Amino acid sequence: MNTEWQVLFDEIARWKDAGRTVEFWWRDDDAARPGPALSRLIALAQRSATPLALAAIPMQAEKEIFDNAGPLVSILQHGTDHANRAAAGEKKTEFAASEPPAAAIVRLAAARRQLEMKAGKNFLPVLAPPWNRLPDRLASQLAAAGLRGLSQYGPRTRVEAAPGLRQVNTHVDIIAWRSGRAFVGADQALRAATKHLAAKRTAAADPGEATGWLTHHAVHDEAAWAFLERLFESTRDLPALAWRRAEELFHTS
**Considering only CA atoms, which of 144, 159, 143, 149 is closest in space to residue 129?**
149
For 56-78, b/e burial (b = at least 16 CB within 10 A) is bbbeebeeebbeebeebbbbbbb
Minimum CB distance to Zn ion, residue 30 (Å): 4
Q: How far is the CB of 124 from Zn ion (least distance, A)?
A: 17
Type and span of the H or E element at 145: none
E-strand ranges in 42-151 read: 52-56, 73-77, 123-127, 149-150
Q: How far is the CB of 126 from Zn ion (least distance, A)?
A: 15
* Residue 29 vs 173, nearer CB to Zn ion: 29
Mapped onto helix, strand or coil, the DSSP state of residue 108 is helix
- Least distance in Å: CB of 202 to Zn ion? 32
Of 11 and 29, the one with the shorter C-beta distance to Zn ion is: 29
The angle, 0 to 180 degrees and rounded to 10, between the axes of the packed helices 186-201 and 3-17 is: 20
Nearest distance, CB of residue 91 and Zn ion, angstroms: 14
Nearer to Zn ion, 23 or 30 (CB): 30
Which is nearer to Zn ion, 11 or 28 (by Cβ)? 28
- Nearest residue (CB) to Zn ion, 15 versus 26: 26
Residue 200 or 217: the one with the smaller Cβ distance to Zn ion is: 217
- Which parts of the chain are beta strand (E)? 22-31, 52-56, 73-77, 123-127, 149-150, 160-162, 165-167, 172-173, 175-176, 182-183, 211-215, 241-243
Cβ within 8 Å of residue 83, ≥6 positions away: 94
Residues across the chain: 253
Q: What is the CA radius of gyration of the chain?
A: 18
- Distance of alpha carbon 241 from alpha carbon 228, whole angstroms: 16
Q: Which is nearer to Zn ion, 55 or 189 (CB)?
A: 55
We find the least distance from the C-beta atom of residue 94 to Zn ion, in angstroms, to be 9
Binding site for Zn ion (CB under 5 A): 29-30, 130
Name the minimum Å distance from CB 161 to Zn ion: 19
